[in-house]
Homo-oligomer: A and B are copies of this chain.
Amino acid sequence: MAGSQGDKYYDVFLRYRLWLSTKDGIGILGEGRLALLREIDKTGSLKAAADNLNISYRKAWGNIKHAEEMLGFILVEKQRGGKLGGKSQLTDEARNLLSAYDELKDDFELAIKDITRKFFKKINKT
């Protein structure tokens, strides 16, 4: 839909945000924490992932611990000592969560496209 005000024209878009929460509305995982998991997967390091997202190591680790507690499974394994000391990697459950979320976003984009088209058709009918 294009809104107009004098010579100015605005395009209007329907936006959405998705996240996982508890029944009481406590946030578990949203775009921020998912981005953190993706960075850990890419860099193999919680420290590097936190740096890339401009958050503190402490905050990054706290967010992951909180999500793990709420979900009931481990997302990130820290390797201690040996050749891999200091490295972090995602668990299979976390990788599975990320790929399921990507598919969910695809499904969502498809659904929202239809719903949005119907919505704007309706509000332009006045």
Contact = CB atoms under 8 A, between A and B. Distances in A.
Contact of A15 (B11, B13, B15, B19): B19
Interface residues of A, number: 49
B97 A123 contact: yes
A122 B15 CA distance: 25
Number of copies of this protein chain within its complex? 2
Contacts of A9: 72
A101 to B, nearest CB: 7
Interface string A113-126: 01110110011011
A97 B69 CA distance: 41
Contacts of A4: 72
Interface of A: 1-5, 9-23, 25, 28, 69-73, 92-93, 96-97, 99-101, 103-104, 107-108, 111-112, 114-116, 118-119, 122-123, 125-126
Given A5-B72, A111-B115, 17 more contacts: A3-B70, A3-B71, A4-B72, A5-B70, A9-B72, A10-B70, A12-B20, A13-B23, A15-B19, A101-B119, A103-B119, A104-B116, A104-B119, A107-B115, A108-B112, A108-B115, A111-B112
